[in-house]
Structure 1
């Protein structure tokens, strides 16, 4: 592998190293990518480094979910209160939620299949790509990193695993939205009450409609950092 920059002398490259991150093509299972889009629209596209589309679907998911009260309805369903789950739903927003949700799953699957084909063609060309980027704000280079560390840091704070492997755009997006989720969830206030032994107060202070965003956020951060470290 040489340190030549991508100068458009080849039709396809397997990777590109810039100060904002390392973008790479590799074979992915389209069903797994589609599953991440089902878990949270936008995540499947972020794994594929389709950032603009991923950001748009993610923000759309959060806004429409909150206004349609989907998460709150799910909480009531988990509690067995089906009537309240139906009553709380805002159908004006829900009708916008479903088609875009399905589009995210379909488009991430389709894009994965296309990108797998592009990777196979790029692998045949075997064209050199840059492995070092130096700029006024940052330095990025290819080196060997431990995927276990990526998972551990993502488990502490989602986004740190991406910073470890220099995926700056994904890291910033994940960390900023984690702060938004934690703030509206009142998570730190609940943790403080929990340390004081006030379990009921800690539970009651949580905003459950924001709580259901957290598991997918953590899961995505760990999976994305792990799989990209391995590749």
Structure 2
């Protein structure tokens, strides 16, 4: 039995070496483009990594479009986020939520516009289903890309920007996101996510009178702060902040893993002998 296991292990190692040799014989363009792990461009560092599908589905339920933004599918994410804001504001859904939480159910019924609210249902279902399905597909693709040891070009220099992969600190991404949602994504060069999150946060803060409320609260005028606050807009803020912090942290951790994988692949391809083997204890 022991001899058979040794033979099976040797066959397995031989197959792995043949697969790696076959892959390395292909031109760099094919290794990079067939199943790329990520892409470094002047606009963003976009890459695929393993995710928990139900977490992605939860973000879709929390705020339409956030799941797609987290997955790096920006166009779909922007469309769904625009629809979320447009339908929510016109249906006054946030006001309905505010009145319901504070026990004023009759006011919630009166303020909500059903003609707009019912538009929300099919888009909401699609967002949850689509985000979950995409996360599952991306997980499969990520595993295949890891097995094929796909190459990633770590540096991109253009007339607009200089972008390079390097190590980043996850706690710094969290701190920057707390300071202003979107700055944590800018730290890891996810410009589309950063631009949207910053712009949306500024717009919500302005419409909801956030900083006026903060000023009045700091001065002790709590009644004035309550009077000036607009819950229709301010209720958007918890989702924006929590998503920004969570996604910036996860993105930075996975960003560092991508950097390590690229360095490992480069060192193995160029400096490790083909006959080198690590003995298993």
TM-score higher than 0.5: yes
Are 2:235 and 1:188 equivalent residues in the alignment? no
Determine which of 243, 263, 266 is the counterpart of 1:220: 243
Question: Distance in 2 between the 1:43 and 1:223 partners?
Answer: 11
Find the counterpart in structure 1 of residue 231 from structure 2. Answer: 208
1:75 is aligned to 98
- Give unpaired runs (5+ residues) of structure 1: none
1:127 aligns to what SS in structure 2? coil
Shift of 1:9: 5.8
Which residue of structure 1 lines up, in the alignment, with residue 132 of structure 2?
Answer: 109
CA RMSD, Structure 1 to Structure 2 (Å): 1.5
Quote the residue 2:178 is aligned against.
Answer: 155
1:145 lines up with 2:145 in the alignment: no
User: Contact 1:6–1:129 at 8 Å: present in 2 too?
Assistant: no
Q: Which runs of 5+ in 2 are unaligned?
A: 1-26, 255-281
How far did residue 219 of structure 1 move? 0.6
**CA positional deviation for 1:199:** 1.1
Q: Spell out, residue by residue over 1:166-215, the C-alpha distance to the aligned partner (whole angstroms, 9 max, x if none).
A: 11111011001011100100111112222222111011100001111000
Work out whether 1:86 is the aligned partner of 2:109: yes
- 1:108 Cα deviation (Å)? 0.2
Distance 1:158 1:95 in 2: 30
1:22 corresponding residue in structure 2 = 45
Mapped to 1, the partners of 2:154 and 2:29 lie a distance apart of: 10
* Cα distance in 2 between the residues matched to 1:64 and 1:6: 44
TM-score (norm 1): 0.95
Displacement of 1:61: 0.3
Measured at CA, do residues 118 and 22 of structure 1 come closer, stay the same or move farther in structure 2, by a change above 3 Å? same
Question: How many residues were matched structurally?
Answer: 228
Q: Distance in 2 between matches of 1:82 and 1:32?
A: 31
Q: Which has the higher contact order (CA 8 A, sep 6+)?
A: 1
> Tell me, what secondary structure is at the counterpart of 1:23?
strand
Equivalent-residue separation in structure 2 for 1:226 and 1:72 (angstroms): 31
Contact 2:89 / 2:232 at 8 angstroms: preserved in 1? yes
Q: Do 1:28 and 1:112's aligned partners in 2 also have CA atoms closer than 8 Å?
A: yes
Structure 2 counterpart SS, 1:140: strand
Alpha carbons 2:44, 2:190 under 8 Å: kept: yes
Q: Which residue of structure 1 aligns with residue 89 of structure 2? A: 66
Structure 2 vs 1, CA of residues 160 and 6 (structure 1 numbering), >3 Å: closer, same or farther? farther
User: Which has more radius of gyration?
Assistant: 2
SS of the equivalent of 1:158 reads coil
Query: How far apart, CA to CA, are the structure 2 residues paired with 1:148 and 1:101?
Result: 32
